[in-house]
Structure 1
Amino acid sequence: MSRSHSFPRLTRSTARPGTLAALAAAGVLVLAACGTGSGSGGSGSGSDTLTEIDYYDAAPQNTQLPQILDECATETGVKIKHQQVPRAQFMPKLLQQASARSLPDLALIDNPDLQQLAATGGLVSLSKAGLTTDGLYPSIVTAGQYQGQTYGIAPGVNGLALFYNKDMFTQAGLAPPRTWDELTAAAKKLTKGSRYGMAFSAVGNEEGSFQFEPFFWTAGADLTTLDSPQAVKALTLWKDLVGSGSASKSVVTWTQADVNDQFLAGNAAMMVNGPWQLPTLNAAKNLHFGVVPIPVPDASAKPVVPLGGEVWTVGRSNPTREAKAVAVVKCLLGQEKSLKWSKDAGYIPSNREAARQLGVSQPQLAAFVTEVGTAKSRTAQLGTDYPKVSQALADAIQAALAGGTSPQSALAQAQRSARD
């Protein structure tokens, strides 16, 4: 699912959005088909060796994580046994282990999946364990809570911003857009031949919902009322971009990785994407690009983007093991380690001061740092109901952009589906 930690085929990012939250919801249905996996649970190893699991399968995350884990292991006097599981198998495996009370001591999970796993009772409440969240962004803390308790905390997060091709903008005499009107006008002017002015992912799953949520939320819409006038306004923006030819009709099949490929190839002058794409973009020496916050409906508004990324959790075992695992998490969340991890993995530190430092030292991340302060957790309001609502929203996007349905009708159907 994600790298937002949250999506299918987000193997290049880990963001992606971050995650496929919908997969997590489906995980319960396939538990019977999964292997037991109990051998990797926390309770089966010596007390000085903790087990850890994640789904990172691509650089830089899969290369940097073992290093930072080893550093924190040394600092806390333990050893950590690292395990990587394919994303599609990750949540089904954890849910099965939770049912058997054999979760690993440490698990790095996509933040939209946190509440579902916490609901099993298999996680340690980090709040009760005394882990402080002082200095962290409140929105990031919220993303790791379930029923008023903190069960997961992110060392860093990712989100979405607007990338633009500086050369194309200079040639067109344009400045980066700040409002929807400016975005629409720039996309139209930049569309020429085989090049589109704008690119985004509207694929029919959590990845598409993740990309749409900045526009949805910034318009003032709410996930409890998918067919509100504000939601219709946001979907109309996307539909008009596609309908006018300023964005490709193929956005309904493009993942975030595909969108990045289009931008790299010069087939799109702007794109919505995340910081996990920066290493690939910076490797293209002839590409000159900038990054600005997501455009807003009017100049008085601030962008509201969904938080992508993963949270550290501690599996229930015994007091001694739990205390050691919590100590490791505390180390991972420290300002120094949070900043190091974020620099290496393309994230924004959860620690406010570390984020500020990163924004100053790496200007390409400044827009993402700015957005974190107003970002939203995808599951804070809906909890374990989020995957169903997210899928209904993704279906509405598909219906409006690919099926010819009006935004109003598509979102009205989404609202009915979310209530069923």
Structure 2
Amino acid sequence: MTAPRTRHAIVAATATALTLSACGADGSGDGGQEVTLWMYPVIADQAASKEFWDTAEADFEKANPDVDLAIELQTFDKRDAQISAALAAGSGPDLVLITPDQAATYHAIGGLLPVDDAVADIRDAFYPAALDSATIEDELFGVPIFQNVFTTAYNTAIFEDAGLALPRTWDDLRAAAPELAKEGIAVMDYAGSPEQTLNLSFYPFLWQAGGHVFTDDGADVAFDSPEGAEALQLLVDLQQEGALPPDAATDGPAVEGAPIARGEAAMRATTSLTEYGQLQAAVGDDSAALGQPLTGAEQVTYGNAGLLSLTSINDESNRQAAYDVLAFMSTPDFQESLNAAAGNLPTRTDVAVDDSDPAVASMAEALELAYPGEPSPASRQVMAALAPKIQAALRGDMSAEEALAAAAEESRQILANTQP
């Protein structure tokens, strides 16, 4: 790990390093080029986020004086609708931060351009899985600039007071559930609201059961399988035993104010590094701990790369300027500074992880078990069909099998309408 540096110093060093590679040996660009980048909340603190991206924009322009970079900070609210409308109107950004499943969706409608040329000289520096998450039909449709991973978080005091070991497997979870329920404590927090992506609620349990959302060819859904039923039945059983919070079907994703933060739930199966910090603030450093992903038939969690993608709005005359921005935000120094500010992990093998921090070390270890999901042009629509059926099962309105069968029927219609 390199010696600590200020965020501004790191970004400035990045800009200096890119002066020759991004602008040419004489520092000149193509002249009068403009690049607009839509950035979504990577850094949770709004003030810190604005400071970071203002600095990045200024330092890029210092190294590339003939390119006007505009980094426009957006919100997650209605992100898909916002990006889709911009692509349809041809008036949105040149570059946009998206997820792998969004890349599959926007690629399917011709909204993205390949970016292989932007990273041709540094491709071998990336983790293969990070590049795979952005590769569609053998072309790269996004440069991975950071990785997220989510793992298990515990309120250890609750387990210690009950004389229980921390659950590491589904069997451990089932064994601890009735013991904590006697004390009026849910063994596990669960965010069943549609606000929460299924990648962070139901899907990890589906994958841990050995199931999948889609078939290998993406032509059909596969969650209405014995493995899918086993995963949903686990959650239904826990809900019926009082081992999930009473409002698990509608609880939102926030940690602050959630049952686990109030001491009413003992663990959460998918937690980011930022969320873990919020948990520490709520229950105290001595009572918070991170573990590895739960193990069912398999041990797996969700983790995805943040992709900086080039949209079809970008004009060929501005293409090199957009490539220069992608190169700038792909360097080791820039990744190091962004990860330090955002609590993410690198997508490059030559960017060190500060494993002196136990939480960061746990996240880095969990990265080996991270699955980037199952990108599909219909993934968001399938989520929208499946989420309310899972809610219905948790409320007791449908059995696990009925819920999955109903969602699968609706999803197959979605696939029939979206496939060429």
Give the TM-score band, short-chain normalised. Answer: 0.7 to 0.9
Distance 1:256 1:333, change over 3 A: same
Describe the shift of the 1:252–1:146 C-alpha distance in structure 2 as closer, same or farther (beyond 3 A): same
Amino acid at match of 1:80: L
Residues 11-410 of structure 1 aligned to structure 2 (within 5 Å): 47-56=32-41, 58-59=44-45, 61-77=49-65, 78-131=67-120, 132-204=122-194, 207-224=197-214, 225-257=222-254, 261-272=258-269, 273-284=271-282, 286-287=284-285, 288-297=287-296, 301-303=298-300, 305-308=301-304, 310-316=306-312, 317-354=314-351, 357-358=353-354, 360-380=355-375, 383-410=376-403
Identify the range of structure 1 (116-125 vs 234-243) with the bigger mean alpha-carbon deviation: 116-125
Counterparts of 2:33 and 2:84, CA distance in 1: 25
Aligned partner of 1:26 in structure 2 is none
Higher mean alpha-carbon deviation, 221-230 vs 164-173, is at 164-173
Q: Could you tell me how far apart the structure 2 residues matched to 1:398 and 1:193 are?
A: 25
Task: Note closer, same or farther for the CA distance 1:97–1:346 as it changes in structure 2 (3 Å cut).
Answer: same
Which position in structure 1 is the counterpart of 2:7? none
Identity %: 24
Deviation for aligned residue 1:260: 5.9
Matched to 1:291, the amino acid is L
CA distance, structure 2, for counterparts of residue 61 and residue 231 of structure 1: 39
Deviation of residue 351 (structure 1)? 1.9
Classify the secondary structure of the residue corresponding to 1:183. Answer: helix
TM-score by length of 1: 0.78
Q: Within 2, Cα distance between the matches of 1:89 and 1:207?
A: 13
Distance 1:119 1:74 in 2: 36
Equivalent residues, number: 369
What is the CA-CA distance between 1:253 and the residue it aligns to? 0.9
User: Aligned letter for 2:150?
Assistant: L
Counterpart code for 1:275 = L
Give the Cα separation in 2 of the matches to 1:203 and 1:97.
27
Query: Aligned partners of 1:96 and 1:124: how far apart in 2?
Result: 17
Asked if 1 retains the 8 angstrom alpha-carbon contact of 2:39 and 2:74, the reply is yes
Does the 8 Å contact 2:35/2:69 carry over to 1?
yes
Separation in structure 2 between the aligned mates of residue 69 and residue 363 of structure 1, nearest angstrom: 32
Shift of 1:364: 0.8
Deviation for aligned residue 1:209: 5.0
SS at structure 1 position matched to 2:268: strand
Tell me, in whole angstroms, the C-alpha distance in 1 between the residues paired with 2:150 and 2:228.
Answer: 19
**Residues 97-125 of structure 1: CA distance to partner in whole angstroms, max 9, x if unpaired?**
32344442222224432222233434331
- 1:189-209 deviations in Å (ceiling 9; x for gaps): 333544322111112465245
SS at 2:69's partner residue?
A: strand
Which residue, 396, 399, 413 being the options, matches 2:406? Answer: 413
Q: Secondary structure at the match of 1:384?
A: coil
Q: Supply the AA of the counterpart residue of 2:320.
A: A
What amino acid sits opposite 1:397 in the alignment?
I
* SS class of match (1:294): coil
SS in 1 for 2:80: helix
Distance 1:274 1:398 in 2: 23
Structure 2 CA distance for aligned equivalents of residues 162 and 176 of structure 1: 10
| Residues 343, 191 of structure 1: alpha-carbon distance in 2 compared, 3 angstrom cutoff | farther
1:286 partner letter: G
Give the unaligned 5+ runs of structure 2. Answer: 1-30, 215-221, 414-420
Amino acid at match of 1:107: V
Cα RMSD of the aligned pairs, angstroms, is 2.8
Counterpart residue number, 1:18: none
Query: What amino acid does structure 2 have at the position aligned with 1:137?
Result: Y
TM-score (norm 2): 0.78
Q: CA 1:94–1:375 in structure 2 vs 1: closer, same or farther (change >3 Å)?
A: same
Is the CA contact 1:137–1:373 (under 8 Å) kept in the aligned structure 2?
no
SS in 1 for 2:176: helix
- In the TM superposition, residue 134 of structure 1 has moved relative to its aligned partner by 2.1
Q: CA offsets, 1:283-320, max 9 Å, x none?
A: 4473420011221115xx321x2334631112343445
Distance in 1, matches of 2:281 and 2:394, equals 33
The alpha-carbon deviation at position 66 of structure 1 amounts to 3.3
Q: Secondary structure at the match of 2:112?
A: coil
Q: Name the SS for the 2:353 alignment partner.
A: helix
C-alpha contact 1:190 1:196 (8 A) present in aligned 2: yes
Query: Cα deviations across residues 230-260 of structure 1 (Å, max 9, x unaligned)?
Result: 1111111111111111111311111110576
SS in 2 for 1:296: coil
- Quick one: distance in 2 between partners of 1:367 and 1:260? 24
The answer to whether the Cα contact below 8 Å between 2:125 and 2:349 also exists between their aligned partners in 1 is yes
Query: Unaligned 5+ residue runs, structure 1?
Result: 1-45
What residue identity is the alignment partner of 1:297?
G
How many Å apart are 1:80 and its aligned residue?
A: 1.9
Measured against aligned partners, the alpha-carbon deviations of 1:168-223 in whole angstroms (never above 9, x if no partner) come to: 22223333222111122233333354432211111246524531111111211011
